[in-house]
Amino acid sequence: MAGIARGHAALFLIGASVALAARAQPANRVADYPSQTAYPPEDRAAVARHLARAYAIAGSDLWSEFRWRCLISPLDPATVWGVQHNGLVPATRLFDNLYSIGQNAVSAYALDTAGGIIVIDSLNNEDEAREILVPNMVALGLDPKRIRYVIVTHGHGDHYGGAKYLQDNYGARIVASAADWQMMEEAQHGTGPFAQLVPPRKDMVAKDGDTISLGDITVRLYITPGHTPGTLSMIFPVFEDGKRHMAGLMGGSGGGRDADAIRQQISSLVRWEDLTRQADVDTMITNHPSHMDATEREVLMRYGATNDTNPFIYGQDRYQRYFEVLTECSRVQLARLGEASGSD
Rounded to whole angstroms, the Cα distance separating 225 from 330 reads 14
What's the distance, CA 333 to chain centroid?
19
- Sequence-distant (≥ 6) Cβ neighbours of residue 220 within 8 angstroms: 209, 210, 211, 234, 235, 236, 279
Please state, in angstroms and rounded to a whole number, the distance separating the CA atoms of residues 266 and 284.
Answer: 19
pLDDT 10s per residue in the chain (344 long)? 444 444 443 333 334 444 444 455 556 799 999 999 999 999 999 999 999 999 999 999 999 999 999 999 999 999 999 999 999 999 999 999 999 999 999 999 999 999 999 999 999 999 999 999 999 999 999 999 999 999 999 999 999 999 999 999 999 999 999 999 999 999 998 888 999 899 999 999 999 999 999 999 999 999 999 999 999 999 999 999 999 999 999 999 988 889 999 999 999 999 999 999 999 999 999 999 999 999 999 999 999 999 999 999 999 999 999 999 999 999 999 999 999 776 66
Residues 6+ apart with CB under 8 A from 36: 75, 76
Helices (runs of H) and strands (runs of E) counted in the chain: 13, 12
- The greatest distance separating any two alpha carbons of the chain, rounded to the nearest whole angstrom, comes to 67
CA distance 48 to 43: 9
Measured between alpha carbons, how far is 257 from 277 in angstroms, rounded to an integer? 27
